[in-house]
Amino acid sequence: MENNSPTAVSEKIPFWRDVRVLRVLFQVVFLLGVILLLAILYTNMLSGLRRLGLTLNLNFFQDEAGFGISEGISYDPSDTYLKAFWVGILNTLKVSIIGVVCATFIGLFFGIARLSSNWLIRTIAAAYVECFRNVPLLLQIVFWYTAVVAQLPNIRESLSLFGGAFINNRGVYLPSPEPTSSLTIWLWFLGAGLLLAVFLYVLRWRQLQRLDRPGFRAKWALPAFLIVALCGWFLTPGSPFTLDLPVLQGFNYQGGMSFSPEFSALLIGLSIYTSAFIAEVVRSGIQSVVKGQREAARAVGLKEGQTLRLVVLPQAVPIILPPLTSQYLNLAKNSSLAVAIGFPELLGIGRTMMLQTGQSIPVFAMIMVSYLVMSLTTSAAMNWYNRWITRIGR
């Protein structure tokens, strides 16, 4: 009897009051609800499309695009929509990667400057961060475009720097190095220099370990490499590179390399805006390192720069990295604001495609997937770096 009674009770419990059943049941009901909602949205979309006489397919990606794109890899209006889309992806990547590099350096500089003991530097850095962080990015990009870049002189009155570089309201034109046949000879010199540098680097590292002192490991390697490279440059018969100078021909400059005003304005806008956030990330990372660490470093006789490089930053970097990753992701996604100034990036080209084909849903899906892939890749790389650096640090 004693043993039986609990079973008897549990047998009596109807299933709608049995926690074990209910737990599963509610999850199933919830899941069904979600599926139902998605199904409703999907059929609603399909019925809407049917009403308009549209079908959902990706075949149009093989069709001829027919519209021109102002910059990016080689592309012709007779290429397919897929190629046009690819041009957009590459343009987005180009501005994002250069932007991330610029924003990181500017941000690092201002982040450290905010903690300077010098009042002027500290205040300027604070003003920089507050100004650029608190004005909408779209506004900033349009400002750089219409109020700065577009106000540069006309193409026929270009600003000329050293006779080889030109700046006007159609872009920045720079000489580009073109490799010549003697480049291979110089590359041999570079290879030899690199070997020597690696050897000296290891030597210096061992020495520092033996002395058990902090120091600059590349102290010997770097000058040695530069000397070999320089000697090689002069010893090579003929110059390894020639400069391709931009020349005004007809309507525009031809030759050399150029950055369009749209690209420049977008790059400046993105880099400066994001750098203000990165500066704050860097500052908070540095401040999170206990004050005692810094004082201890000073007490053992390290200089200010050494303290930062050897004691503070190694501890701050693992704290900085996760929010830094978010800033990188933001920068890449914010590049879609280029639509406002006509830089042909992913979203801009995608929108043109939607309008010319009417296939908004597949194109939108493709755009979203592209951004997702870019962001997830960046995240994965940064997480990997984070794990690596924490393992080294500990």
- 22 lines the binding site for another protein (CB under 8 A): yes
Q: Is 53 or 305 the residue whose CB approaches another protein more closely?
A: 53
Q: Phi then psi for 344, rounded to 5 degrees?
A: -80, 80
CB of 10 to another protein, least distance (A): 17
Instruction: From 276-284, 286-294, 309-317, 339-347, give the range in contact with another protein by CB under 8 A.
Output: 339-347
The residue within the footprint of another protein, chosen from 8, 31, 34, 40 (CB under 8 A), is: 40
Tell me the per-residue interface mask from 75 to 114 with another protein, x by CB under 8 A, - otherwise: --xx------------------------------------
Give how far Cα 37 sits from Cα of 26, 238, 362, Å. 16, 72, 21
- 150 lines the binding site for another protein (CB under 8 A): yes
Tell me the per-residue interface mask from 200 to 239 with another protein, x by CB under 8 A, - otherwise: ----------------------------------------
- 67 lines the binding site for another protein (CB under 8 A): yes
Tokens encoding 319: 């704290």
> Closest by alpha carbon to 219, among 208, 211, 235?
208
Q: Is 5 or 47 the residue whose CB approaches another protein more closely?
A: 47
Q: Is 330 or 360 the residue whose CB approaches another protein more closely?
A: 360
Instruction: Tally the residues of the chain.
Output: 394
Tokens encoding 367: 């755009």
DSSP per-residue codes, 155-174:
GGG-EEETTTEEEETTEEEE
Tell me the per-residue interface mask from 349 to 368 with another protein, x by CB under 8 A, - otherwise: --xx-xxxxxxx--------
Instruction: Name the DSSP class of 154.
Output: P
CB of 94 to another protein, least distance (A): 17
- 169 lines the binding site for another protein (CB under 8 A): yes
Instruction: From 35-43, 263-271, 275-283, 329-337, give the range in contact with another protein by CB under 8 A.
Output: 35-43
DSSP per-residue codes, 267-316:
HHHHHHHHHHHHHHHHHHHHHTS-HHHHHHHHHTT--HHHIIIIIIHHHH
Number of residues that bind another protein (CB under 8 A): 54
The residue within the footprint of another protein, chosen from 8, 24, 48, 377 (CB under 8 A), is: 48
Q: Is 26 or 388 the residue whose CB approaches another protein more closely?
A: 26
Binding to another protein (CB under 8 A) within 367-386 occurs at none
Distance (Å, rounded) from C-alpha 254 to C-alpha 141?
27
- 74 lines the binding site for another protein (CB under 8 A): no
> Closest by alpha carbon to 272, among 391, 137, 169?
137
Q: With beta carbons less than 8 A apart as the criterion, state whether 335 and 99 touch.
A: yes
Q: Is 79 or 318 the residue whose CB approaches another protein more closely?
A: 79
Strand order in the sheet with 257-259: 159-161, 165-168, 171-174, 257-259
CB of 301 to another protein, least distance (A): 58
Distance (Å, rounded) from C-alpha 255 to C-alpha 253?
7
Q: With beta carbons less than 8 A apart as the criterion, state whether 267 and 78 touch.
A: no
The residue within the footprint of another protein, chosen from 21, 36, 139, 392 (CB under 8 A), is: 36
Tokens encoding 88: 């957009």
- 339 lines the binding site for another protein (CB under 8 A): yes
Beta bridge partners of 288: none
Instruction: From 159-167, 270-278, 291-299, 336-344, give the range in contact with another protein by CB under 8 A.
Output: 336-344
If 0-12 CB within 10 Å is exposed, 13-18 middle and 19+ buried, where does residue 233 land? middle
Residues that bind another protein (CB under 8 A): 16-17, 22, 26, 29, 33, 36-37, 40, 43-44, 47-49, 51-54, 66-70, 77-78, 146, 150-151, 154-155, 169-170, 249-252, 254, 261-262, 339-342, 344, 348, 351-352, 354-360
